Structures are given as structure tokens and as C-alpha cells.
């Protein structure tokens, strides 16, 4: 039996018109709040160490958030705090506060970095974790596993053409999008006095029931699932229950119907109907979790705790050929965003107009052709750079070279698009002109990798958004290695510890749907994750004192003078 505790704290952010995180839309601004946003945490101890997992009602976890939380916990817990055993993740609601990262790109619409938001998020996460830490008591942990019935309208694959490219999946027709995903939920139940007092659910589905035309903070489907489950557990006698509904492989999974007539069906959900739809979807997830822990004894989770944590620069990783279709020169590159990223997703969140996307693709392809045709006439550094990005990025029509801060061949400050046509582009150009992003990264490139172990269960904690099949391959790769150490099941927790975009399989990437356009390190990104995480898994099998892995690499600090220029900017219309 383990020692375990749990806690919950509200993220109190005043809605003052800052853009919310997720859709990247200038107009998607918070003017009020419909539901509270929470940080929920569990703490598990085995007598030798403690593992902490906290899930917040946010669109993402940033390095700034993780660094702030670690500082709080070091101050409060001293040497008892183990950074490697801290998992920070989020529900990925698109109706939560933005402006919580120090990198520039995903803050543009906020606009900029908002110190009050970061303080509120770090404070709530810290409070929830400390509650969980201080409330530990003898608790039995059990693992439950069950799939949603095919008829339950909870999730659909939104990029079926890409999914069907994977050789290991059964191809699905356009009326079977609800089957082109992992419909299995895993739940860790925390039992005291013969009853479930808290739970942790892992199931992948985007928290995008609520669209980008509404202006209220809201926990979306995962938030409603947690609230409903906590209410049910309280009614059953739990004194202060906590229910965490975290994400698994949500990258290509939508809560909205995808199939014939999907756009017409989506347009019928507007205003209050979107909130009601989010609540129904969350209720389905809550009902699935509660029915599992009520109807089955579950699998006891016994054994000790372990964790391993490291950072890696994903702009320059050579992938193991085992994970790269035998390719012995498969590499990632500096981050690049494709036209399909800016075009958005057809149901969850549309982006640039189709005509503009078509023109942008033509320009991107022409630029690639011109660059490669005159390669020998360029400086050596440019030759190496173009060879590197075009080999790694493959078929992607590159619109934004985020590493060099270039859009379709032009520096950001020199974009020809008039400011009045797009407010987001205007703000990006303004920040470039005033020197706010000269030396600052647009997106994270040094990323956290983590595996935690609870007895025979391992959880692979990955930043960003893994598609269904990418996550399945990741779990298989790590689980295969950890079997030698007695691990019976490997699970995946995504959106963990930072966020840089998506991870598709190489086959899915070739289709260049939205997810492929947002797989910023190129077509071998998944292979790079498999390479680095399987290496960590092998180290995890060794006694702690014998492990050899990178413990020193960290994301580079953001130049404070540049961060100051994009911090606490005036809110449009405020």
C-alpha cells in the first residue's frame, strides 16, 4: 500500500480582455468566466520518494510555468522536492488564460506575456501540490481499463486521410471517424476505507467543444468531467475528492462529429449550445471513469516509485534507424510551421482562408525550388541550413521558419501584408520592429522528456500533442524496454511539462493535414522522441546511482530586455 494525497486550488485570473490560449485568434478574448478553472494534484509516496502529478485547466504548460512551480516547491519542501518526479500537465482547454510562456509566437494574440496570469497559474499549481503533499495517508491504488462503447458520441478522428496512411491501423471510412482513435480510458483509482476517494483518468480528446467565438473562461469537456466526477464521489461519501481528467493521444482527436455533413452539424452548435455540448461530452468521460471504478475490482498497483527526467534540443536530433523506416540519416531540424498549420482544422478551428492557403503553398514551393537551385551560390551556412530544413521538413509547404524568424523568405518585420488586414500579423511585425524577438525563441526547442513509474505501471510524459498512432508507437517502444524491469503496462500523458506543437507519425506527416503542418521539427519528430525516450527507459532500468544521462541541459534563458518589450502589453479595446 502507498501513501497518497490529493488537492485542488482555483486558478484565479481576472478576465480583462486578453486572448485565450489554443485557437490563436486575435478576437478570442476573455470578458468573463463561466466555470472556475482549477489545478488538481495527486501525490504518491512509497516511503523512499514521492511522485507528484498536477493537471491544470489550461491550454498548455510552459517552461515558465514549470520553472515557477519548481521554485515554489524547492522553497517550501527543500531537499524533499524531486524535480524528476514532478509531472505537470493540462486539460488543453481552449477557453483558459494565455500569455503564460516566455517564448513569443503563441503569445502574440494575448498580446504578449502576462505576469499576472503566470503568477496565478504557478500559485494555484503550487497550492494544489502542497495540499496533496500534506494530506498523504495510507491509500490503495488500482488501475482500471475500459473502452467507450462505439455508440457513445465522445470523440472522432479529425484527420482520417493521415490516420489511414499508417500501416498498422485498420483503414476507416468517412463514416467511421469515431473508430479511428484509441477509445480506451485508463483510470488510477485512489482507495481509502474501501471506497474511491480520488481518481486520475487518461483519455485523449481535444478540449475544443467550445469554439473561438465565445468570450468566457471555461474548463470545457475535461473540466466538466472533473466537476461531475467529484460531485459523484462526494455524494458517495468521499470527504474532499479530486478527479483529474488528463490527456493521452488527443492530437488528431476531436470532440466534434467528423463525417458527412459535419460542418453543417457544427454550425448548429453556437452560444449556450456549445457549453451544453461541452458538459455532455465531459459527462460521458466522467460516467465512463466512474462506471469503471464501480463495476470492476481493477488491477492493484503495488511496488516502488521511480522517475527519470531530461531535456533535449529537438532542433538537431539524429533518429535511430529502427524508428525511421531504416533511414540512417533521419534528422530533425530547426522549427518550421507549414501552411496547413495556419489553415487550421476544418471543424475545431479554421484558420486562413482557403484561397490564401493555396497561394501561400505555391509561394512556399517556389521559394524552396529557387533556394535549392542556387544552393552552390550561397554562403556555406545557408547551404547547410537549407539542406537541413528541407531534408527534415520533407513535403511541408513551409510558411514560417521559426528558427530564423522568416515568413515565406522575408524577415518578420518586412512582411508585405498590410497591418490592417490581420491584427495578429501586425502585432508580430511590431514586436520584430522594436527588437522584442531578435534573440528570443518563437517556440520551445529544448524539450522535457520524462518517464515515471508506479510499480508495474510506467507513464511516458511527453510535451505537445501526439496523434493516436504516434502515441501508440511511443508507448510500445518504451514499454518493450521496461518489460525487462517488470513493467506490465506503459501509458502516455501528453501536454506534459511544456508545449511546442504536434507529433505525428512519418506516414501521417506526408499528408500534411493540420497536425503535420504543426509538427515543427519535421517528418522524423516521432522517431526522435522514440530515440531519446527509449534511451531514458534503458537508464531507468539501472540502479539510480549507475544511470548515465543528460542532467544539465536546460532551455536557454530568454533575454530579459526583449521579454520586457512584450510583457503586460495593452489589451486591444481595453
Distance CA 118, CA 121 (A): 5
- Examine residue 115 and state whether it is found in any structural domain, yes or no: yes
- Examine residue 565 and state whether it is found in any structural domain, yes or no: no
Write out the H or E segment, with its range, that includes residue 391: helix 380-393
| Cis status, amide bond into 453, omega within 30 of 0 | no
The percentage of residues in the chain with a pLDDT greater than 90, rounded to a whole number, is: 95
436 and 449 within one domain: no
Phi and psi torsions of 417, nearest 5° = -65, 125
401 and 509 within one domain: no
Looking at per-residue pLDDT, the higher value among 47 and 283 belongs to 283
C-alpha cell at 275: 457549453
Q: How far is CA 285 from the centre of its chain?
A: 19
- Examine residue 553 and state whether it is found in any structural domain, yes or no: no
Does the predicted model carry a pTM greater than 0.95? Answer: yes
Range 149-176 average pLDDT: 97
Identify the bridge partners of residue 87 per DSSP, sorted by sequence position.
53
**The pairing of beta strand 398-401 with beta strand 406-407:** antiparallel
Query: What per-residue confidence (pLDDT) applies to 138?
Result: 97
507 and 383 within one domain: no
- Examine residue 526 and state whether it is found in any structural domain, yes or no: yes
399 and 298 within one domain: no
**314 has a pLDDT exceeding 70:** yes
Please write the tens of the pLDDT for every residue from 473-527: 999 999 999 999 999 999 999 999 999 999 999 999 999 999 999 999 999 999 9
519 and 389 within one domain: no
- Evaluate whether 503 touches 465 at the Cβ level (below 8 Å): yes
Output the CA torsion sign for 272, 274, 277, 281: negative
512 and 433 within one domain: no
C-alpha cell at 58: 489550461
Range 34-63 average pLDDT: 97
Domain that holds residue 27: 2-310+445-546
435 and 450 within one domain: no
List alpha helices for 205-322, DSSP H.
220-235, 262-267, 272-295
Distance CA 126, CA 546 (A): 32
Q: What is the DSSP letter of 331?
A: B
- Examine residue 573 and state whether it is found in any structural domain, yes or no: no
* Residue ending a domain, choose from 409, 441, 473: 441
Cα torsion through 98, 100, 105, 107, rounded to 10:
40
73 and 153 within one domain: yes
Query: What per-residue confidence (pLDDT) applies to 416?
Result: 77
In the block, residue with C-alpha cell 496570469:
117
3-state secondary structure at position 11: coil
- Evaluate whether 205 touches 154 at the Cβ level (below 8 Å): yes
450 and 425 within one domain: no
What mean pLDDT value characterizes the chain?
Answer: 96
- Examine residue 486 and state whether it is found in any structural domain, yes or no: yes
Burial class (CB in 10 A: 0-12, 13-18, 19+), 541: middle
The percentage of residues in the chain with a pLDDT greater than 70, rounded to a whole number, is: 100
- Examine residue 568 and state whether it is found in any structural domain, yes or no: no
**320 has a pLDDT exceeding 90:** yes
C-alpha cell at 24: 490563436
Which segment of 94-108, 169-183, 241-255, 403-417 scores lowest on mean pLDDT? 403-417
* Residue ending a domain, choose from 388, 422, 441: 441
- Evaluate whether 514 touches 399 at the Cβ level (below 8 Å): no
Query: What per-residue confidence (pLDDT) applies to 574?
Result: 67
How confident is residue 342, by pLDDT bands cut at 50, 70 and 90?
A: very high
- Evaluate whether 167 touches 90 at the Cβ level (below 8 Å): no
3-state secondary structure at position 89: strand
425 and 373 within one domain: yes
Which segment of 312-326, 336-350, 414-428 scores lowest on mean pLDDT? 414-428
- Evaluate whether 465 touches 254 at the Cβ level (below 8 Å): no
418 and 391 within one domain: yes
Range 164-183 average pLDDT: 98
Query: What per-residue confidence (pLDDT) applies to 415?
Result: 83
The residues, ordered by sequence, that sit 6+ positions from 196 with a Cβ below 8 Å of its Cβ are 189, 190, 233, 236, 238, 293
Rg (CA), the chain: 23
> Residue 301, Cβ neighbours under 10 Å: how many?
18
* Residue ending a domain, choose from 441, 467, 492: 441
Identify the bridge partners of residue 32 per DSSP, sorted by sequence position.
216
Query: What per-residue confidence (pLDDT) applies to 352?
Result: 87
Structurally, the chain folds into a number of domains equal to: 2
- Examine residue 405 and state whether it is found in any structural domain, yes or no: yes
| 57 closest CA partner among 253, 269, 319, 246 | 246
Please write the tens of the pLDDT for every residue from 93-114: 999 999 999 999 999 999 999 9
| 402 closest CA partner among 394, 392, 412 | 412
Please write the tens of the pLDDT for every residue from 515-560: 999 999 999 999 999 999 999 999 999 999 999 999 999 999 999 9
356 and 215 within one domain: no
**428 has a pLDDT exceeding 70:** yes
**65 has a pLDDT exceeding 70:** yes
The residues, ordered by sequence, that sit 6+ positions from 392 with a Cβ below 8 Å of its Cβ are 331, 332, 333, 521, 522, 523, 524
Range 179-207 average pLDDT: 97
Amino acid at each position: 500500500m502507498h501513501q497518497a494525497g490529493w488537492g485542488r486550488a482555483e486558478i484565479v485570473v481576472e478576465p480583462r480582455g486578453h486572448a485565450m490560449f489554443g485557437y490563436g485568434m486575435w478576437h478570442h478574448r476573455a470578458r468573463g468566466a463561466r466555470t472556475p478553472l482549477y489545478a488538481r494534484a495527486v501525490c504518491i509516496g512509497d516511503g523512499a520518494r514521492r511522485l507528484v502529478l498536477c493537471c491544470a485547466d489550461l491550454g498548455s504548460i510552459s517552461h515558465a510555468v514549470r520553472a515557477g512551480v519548481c521554485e515554489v516547491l524547492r522553497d517550501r519542501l527543500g531537499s524533499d522536492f524531486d524535480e524528476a518526479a514532478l509531472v505537470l500537465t493540462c486539460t488543453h482547454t481552449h477557453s483558459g488564460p494565455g500569455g503564460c510562456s516566455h517564448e513569443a509566437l503563441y503569445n502574440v494574440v494575448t498580446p504578449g506575456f502576462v505576469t499576472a496570469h503566470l503568477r496565478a497559474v504557478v500559485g494555484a499549481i503550487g497550492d494544489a501540490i502542497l495540499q496533496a503533499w500534506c494530506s498523504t495517508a495510507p491509500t490503495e491504488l488500482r488501475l482500471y481499463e475500459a473502452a467507450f462503447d462505439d455508440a457513445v458520441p465522445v470523440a472522432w478522428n479529425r484527420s482520417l486521410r493521415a490516420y489511414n496512411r499508417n500501416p498498422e491501423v485498420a483503414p476507416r471510412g468517412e463514416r467511421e471517424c469515431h473508430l479511428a482513435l484509441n477509445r480506451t480510458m485508463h483510470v488510477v483509482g485512489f482507495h481509502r476505507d474501501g471506497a474511491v476517494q480520488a481518481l486520475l483518468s487518461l483519455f485523449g480528446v481535444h478540449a475544443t467543444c467550445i469554439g473561438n467565438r465565445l468570450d468566457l473562461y471555461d474548463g470545457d469537456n475535461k473540466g466538466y468531467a472533473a466537476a461531475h466526477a467529484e460531485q459523484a464521489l462526494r455524494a458517495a461519501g468521499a470527504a474532499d475528492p479530486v478527479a483529474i481528467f488528463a490527456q493521452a493521444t488527443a492530437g488528431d482527436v476531436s470532440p466534434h462529429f467528423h463525417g458527412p455533413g459535419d460542418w453543417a452539424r457544427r454550425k448548429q452548435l453556437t452560444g449556450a449550445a456549445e457549453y451544453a455540448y461541452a458538459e455532455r461530452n465531459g459527462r460521458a468521460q466522467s460516467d465512463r471513469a466512474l462506471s469503471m471504478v464501480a463495476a470492476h475490482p481493477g488491477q492493484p498497483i503495488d511496488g516502488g516509485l521511480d522517475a527519470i527526467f531530461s531535456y533535449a534540443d529537438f532542433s538537431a536530433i539524429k533518429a535511430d534507424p529502427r524508428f525511421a523506416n531504416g533511414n540512417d540519416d533521419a534528422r530533425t531540424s530547426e522549427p518550421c510551421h507549414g501552411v496547413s498549420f495556419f489553415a487550421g482544422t476544418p471543424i475545431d478551428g479554421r484558420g486562413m482562408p482557403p484561397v490564401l492557403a493555396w497561394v501561400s503553398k505555391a509561394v512556399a514551393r517556389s521559394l524552396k525550388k529557387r533556394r535549392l537551385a542556387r544552393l552552390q551560390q550561397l554562403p556555406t551556412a545557408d547551404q547547410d541550413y537549407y539542406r537541413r530544413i528541407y531534408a527534415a521538413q520533407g513535403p511541408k509547404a513551409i510558411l514560417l521558419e521559426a528558427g530564423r524568424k522568416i515568413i515565406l523568405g522575408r524577415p518578420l518585420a518586412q512582411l508585405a501584408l498590410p497591418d490592417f488586414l490581420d491584427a495578429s500579423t501586425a502585432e508580430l511585425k511590431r514586436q520584430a520592429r522594436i527588437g522584442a524577438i531578435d534573440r528570443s525563441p518563437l517556440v520551445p526547442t529544448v524539450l522535457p522528456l520524462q518517464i515515471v513509474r508506479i510499480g508495474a505501471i510506467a507513464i511516458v510524459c511527453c510535451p505537445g500533442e501526439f496523434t493516436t498512432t504516434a502515441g501508440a508507437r511511443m508507448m510500445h517502444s518504451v514499454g518493450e524496454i521496461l518489460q525487462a524491469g517488470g513493467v506490465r503496462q506503459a501509458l502516455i500523458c501528453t501536454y506534459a511539462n511544456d508545449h511546442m506543437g504536434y507529433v505525428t507519425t512519418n506516414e501521417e506527416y506526408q499528408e500534411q493535414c493540420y497536425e503535420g503542418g504543426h509538427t515543427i521539427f519535421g517528418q522524423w519528430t516521432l522517431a526522435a522522441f522514440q530515440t531519446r525516450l527509449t534511451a531514458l527507459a534503458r537508464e531507468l532500468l539501472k540502479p539510480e546511482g549507475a544511470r548515465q544521462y543528460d542532467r544539465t541541459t536546460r532551455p536557454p534563458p530568454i533575454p530579459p530586455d526583449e521579454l520586457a518589450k512584450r510583457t503586460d502589453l495593452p489589451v486591444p479595446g481595453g
